[in-house]
Chain A
Amino acid sequence: MTQRNYGTAILSAFEYLLDKYPEVFVIGQGLWSPWYVGNSMTDLDKKYGVDRIIDTPVSESACTGAAVGASLCGMRPIVVHPRIDFMLYAMDAVVNQAAKWSHMVGGQAHPAVTIRGIINRGGEQGAQHSQALHSWFAHIPGLRVVMPATVADARDLLIASVLCDDPVMFIDDRWLYGQTAELGPVVERDLRAEGPLCLGVGSELTIVGSGYATYLAMQARDVLATCGISAEVIDLRVLNPFNPQVVVGSVSKTGRLLVVDGSWRTCGMSAEIIAAVAEHLSPASIKAMPRRITLPDAPAPTSRVLEKIYYPDVDQVAAAARSMLDK
């Protein structure tokens, strides 16, 4: 067992992949700097060389497109976007090219590219250094969307993403980097078999989250336990293709659904979760109206006073859960 935090778990996934698979390379901005990607890629350039860890011109669009092109030629590139906001320049490469290619060419070629977009917000950085756009990407058939919430998943789902033949949007969150855990040796997983998991069993309420929202849900679960409320937490992990089975199974047991999502409300992932439950469960098995906690439908503010209102916290999650149980 090795002690890792979320950031160094990602680093160890890079090391594992680069050691074992010569077709893996990494491309993106800031890869030779300690500044951009926290402790998740430290010294990779020194260990594997600057020809395999490619720091690039300020060209998100061409670099992402190039990774897609290389992936059609037998390589397994990982594109790194230290902030998702800047990645928006690359949407043609992601949405029109990577996501569509397999279908457009009759399943004869697959872009085995992993696009790592980092959510890096707060600290009064404002609207263009803040976004969590997993709901957007989960809307696109052909993309797999992965959001690790735990230290183990940060490592293992990155490895599974890169070894998968499909394009994967891997979204990690700098607010999770401080978490630590003991990790065993790597076991390679088939990403197609991965999906939502129960991280904490409970009986009265299901809280669903992904990424940092799962972290909030787990913290809230502890708070609720002190008030005698038994909450079950489901971590989505893979948002697209979305398999609702685990969430539906949990709500059929608890009868109550609270979704916590780090993206906006309208057309967000939270709506998809509630819709999936509504479609699969009869009203008779629902004990309370579903609730969701999301970002307000506004860009991120800069002022710390407004930031505090803008981002959901543990107290908000716990309060919503209590209100659903009238406790």
Chain B
Amino acid sequence: MSNFSSLGRLADASNFHAPIDISAADPSQLVVFLESMLRIRFAERKLADGRRDGLIGGPVHLGVGQEAVAVGVSTCLRKTDRVFGAHRSHSHLLALGASVHKLFAEVLGKETGHSKGMGGSMHLWDQGSGFFGSVPIVAGTVALAVGAGLAAKMQRGGDVAVAYLGDGAVEEGVVHESLNLARIQGLPVLFVVENNLFASHMHISIRQPKDATARFAEANSIPCEILDGNDVVAVARASARAVERARDGGGPSFIEAVTYRWYGHVDWRDDIDVGVNRSQDDVANWKARDPVLRLRTAMIQAGLWSDAREAQLCERLMRQIDRDWQQALADPYPGAEALLDRVYSSIKPVRS
């Protein structure tokens, strides 16, 4: 039996509660990781509150608990790389350094948002930071990322494309076509599966015969790694290897990061009673595998961090997030002309 067909102990939430191994990591980078993860978490909690309080009209798919994946991957990327996300992509966007204020404005449907208030939480775009777009159609951007990799290969600039997808997305046929196409064309694409064990309310055990999606990478001869997605250092290290391989012309890679979302599929509730096998105990165990807690504890144990510094950092981040939220609430909505003016490129001259 292949090594890539089972998540093994990673799927058992009673494991991997200990602080992560930071012995090989650069201490200053660890602080950056911690800050980035906390910023994402605080921003998403703000969105959870805004949705609960009725200030946000549309659905928000929150990834609290999964922050280490995007932060670990993004640390290996540059602004000219091309990142594509899905329905749960706030972290993918923010980890690239994109504006929190513009995310809030977007989710509130404001003209100042990343997508000028036309996309909401599920259609995010910020090309300046390398975020080429996210959509809620499951697996909808996977082939687009492959095409971004194809463009990068033709443009010969050494850029890479990243496709974030979930364990549910591998149940879509286009993912298999995309893996095959990326491999046969030798494209610089990093497939990052955030396996959080659930597609909406359905646990992977009742959707797939095996719980490791990396088996599909292996089937397409794509180098792959299965790792603890709540270990930011492990994610960063694996991503660095994959990105370097892609920039050097070595073709696609596949990372399966095992993680868990603390909230339900959509919005701010826990949805304990909705998911099969999602018990209160499971959620509690997964919260003990917290990527933030395990990093900060490791840093404190190594003498790199303190409660006081953390309190200071959290206060600074929260203050900024509150400001961003207030500003976004006050920002204007798109004008009525936006409805028709943005359907086609009519505002932009056709090349001739």
Write the B82-125 contact mask toward A (1 if CB under 8 angstroms, else 0): 10100000000000000000000000000001011111000101
Q: Is A69 in contact with B143, judged by CB distance below 8 angstroms?
A: yes
Q: Is B174 an interface residue, CB under 8 A from the partner? A: yes
Q: Is B135 in contact with A97, judged by CB distance below 8 angstroms?
A: yes
Distance of A203 Cα from B142 Cα, bound (Å): 54
Q: Is A61 in contact with B173, judged by CB distance below 8 angstroms?
A: yes
- With A57-B180, A66-B144 in contact, is A75–B151 under 8 Å at CB? yes
Q: Is A219 an interface residue, CB under 8 A from the partner? A: no
Q: Is B123 in contact with A69, judged by CB distance below 8 angstroms?
A: no
Distance of A51 Cα from B140 Cα, bound (Å): 25
Q: Is B143 in contact with A163, judged by CB distance below 8 angstroms?
A: no
Please give the distance in Å from A138's CB to the nearest CB on chain B: 14
Determine the residue in chain A with the shortest Cβ distance to B178.
A62
Q: Is A110 in contact with B352, judged by CB distance below 8 angstroms?
A: no
Instruction: List residues 92-111 of chain A with CB under 8 A from any CB of chain B.
Output: 92-93, 96-97, 101-110
- With A61-B143, A165-B351 in contact, is A105–B115 under 8 Å at CB? yes
Partner of B181, one of A56, A71, A75, A101: A56
Q: Is B336 an interface residue, CB under 8 A from the partner? A: no
Determine the residue in chain B with the shortest Cβ distance to A95.
B137
A side interface size, CB within 8 A? 50
Partner of B144, one of A54, A68, A108: A68
- With A56-B181, A69-B145, A106-B116 in contact, is A74–B151 under 8 Å at CB? yes
Q: Is B123 in contact with A104, judged by CB distance below 8 angstroms?
A: yes
Please give the distance in Å from B182's CB to the nearest CB on chain A: 9
Q: Is B343 an interface residue, CB under 8 A from the partner? A: yes
Distance of A26 Cα from B299 Cα, bound (Å): 52
Partner of A108, one of B127, B151, B155, B351: B127
Write the A70-105 contact mask toward B (1 if CB under 8 angstroms, else 0): 111111010000000000000011001100011111
Partner of A66, one of B117, B150, B348: B150
Q: Is B338 in contact with A65, judged by CB distance below 8 angstroms?
A: no
Residues from chain A with Cβ under 8 Å of B140 in the complex? 92, 96-97
Instruction: List residues 209-263 of chain B with CB under 8 A from any CB of chain A.
Output: none
Stretch with Cβ within 8 A of B (4 or more), from A3-11, A185-193, A243-251: A185-193
Determine the residue in chain B with the shortest Cβ distance to A52.
B154
Q: Is B343 in contact with A70, judged by CB distance below 8 angstroms?
A: no
Q: Is A123 an interface residue, CB under 8 A from the partner? A: no
Residues from chain B with Cβ under 8 Å of A65 in the complex? 142-144, 146-147, 174, 178
Determine the residue in chain B with the shortest Cβ distance to A72.
B132
Q: Is B174 in contact with A92, judged by CB distance below 8 angstroms?
A: yes
Residues from chain B with Cβ under 8 Å of A166 in the complex? 344-345
Q: Is B341 an interface residue, CB under 8 A from the partner? A: yes
Q: Is A67 an interface residue, CB under 8 A from the partner? A: yes
Determine the residue in chain B with the shortest Cβ distance to A73.
B151
Residues from chain B with Cβ under 8 Å of A216 in the complex? none
Q: Is B350 in contact with A101, judged by CB distance below 8 angstroms?
A: no
Q: Is B125 in contact with A62, judged by CB distance below 8 angstroms?
A: no
Q: Is A61 in contact with B151, judged by CB distance below 8 angstroms?
A: no
Q: Is A142 an interface residue, CB under 8 A from the partner? A: yes
Q: Is A64 an interface residue, CB under 8 A from the partner? A: yes
Please give the distance in Å from A185's CB to the nearest CB on chain B: 15
Distance of A56 Cα from B143 Cα, bound (Å): 14
Distance of A75 Cα from B146 Cα, bound (Å): 13
Instruction: Bin chain B's interface residue count.
Output: 35 or more
Q: Is B28 an interface residue, CB under 8 A from the partner? A: no
Q: Is B346 an interface residue, CB under 8 A from the partner? A: yes
Q: Is B343 in contact with A163, judged by CB distance below 8 angstroms?
A: no
Q: Is A96 in contact with B143, judged by CB distance below 8 angstroms?
A: no
Distance of A190 Cα from B342 Cα, bound (Å): 18
Please give the distance in Å from A199's CB to the nearest CB on chain B: 24
Q: Is B346 in contact with A70, judged by CB distance below 8 angstroms?
A: no
Q: Is B184 an interface residue, CB under 8 A from the partner? A: yes
Partner of A69, one of B119, B144, B154, B351: B144
Please give the distance in Å from A129's CB to the nearest CB on chain B: 22
Distance of A103 Cα from B133 Cα, bound (Å): 12
Determine the residue in chain B with the shortest Cβ distance to A193.
B350
Distance of A216 Cα from B346 Cα, bound (Å): 33
- With A62-B146, A66-B146, A71-B147 in contact, is A110–B345 under 8 Å at CB? yes
Distance of A253 Cα from B119 Cα, bound (Å): 45
Q: Is B347 an interface residue, CB under 8 A from the partner? A: yes
Please give the distance in Å from A242's CB to the nearest CB on chain B: 13
Q: Is A318 an interface residue, CB under 8 A from the partner? A: no
Distance of A326 Cα from B84 Cα, bound (Å): 61
Q: Is B169 an interface residue, CB under 8 A from the partner? A: no
Q: Is A283 an interface residue, CB under 8 A from the partner? A: no
Q: Is B177 an interface residue, CB under 8 A from the partner? A: yes
Q: Is B118 in contact with A69, judged by CB distance below 8 angstroms?
A: no
- With A62-B174, A165-B350 in contact, is A70–B148 under 8 Å at CB? yes
- With A73-B152, A191-B350 in contact, is A102–B174 under 8 Å at CB? no
Please give the distance in Å from B343's CB to the nearest CB on chain A: 5
Distance of A56 Cα from B187 Cα, bound (Å): 14
Partner of B118, one of A52, A103, A190: A103
Residues from chain B with Cβ under 8 Å of A296 in the complex? none
Residues from chain B with Cβ under 8 Å of A188 in the complex? 352
Distance of A156 Cα from B145 Cα, bound (Å): 31
Residues from chain B with Cβ under 8 Å of A70 in the complex? 147-148, 150-151, 154
Distance of A239 Cα from B84 Cα, bound (Å): 32
What residues make up the interface of B, taking CB atoms closer than 8 Å to A? Answer: 82, 84, 113, 115-119, 123, 125, 127, 132-133, 135, 137, 140-152, 154-155, 161, 173-174, 177-178, 180-181, 184-185, 334, 338, 341-348, 350-352
Subset of 26 A-B contacts with CB under 8 Å: A25-B154, A51-B154, A57-B184, A59-B177, A61-B177, A62-B174, A66-B143, A66-B146, A66-B181, A69-B82, A69-B148, A69-B150, A69-B151, A72-B148, A73-B82, A75-B154, A77-B147, A93-B144, A97-B135, A104-B135, A106-B118, A107-B347, A108-B125, A108-B127, A141-B343, A192-B350
4 closest A-B pairs (Cβ-Cβ)? A65-B143, A69-B147, A106-B116, A69-B144
What residues make up the interface of A, taking CB atoms closer than 8 Å to B? Answer: 25, 51-52, 54, 56-57, 59, 61-75, 77, 92-93, 96-97, 101-110, 141-142, 144, 163-166, 188-192, 241
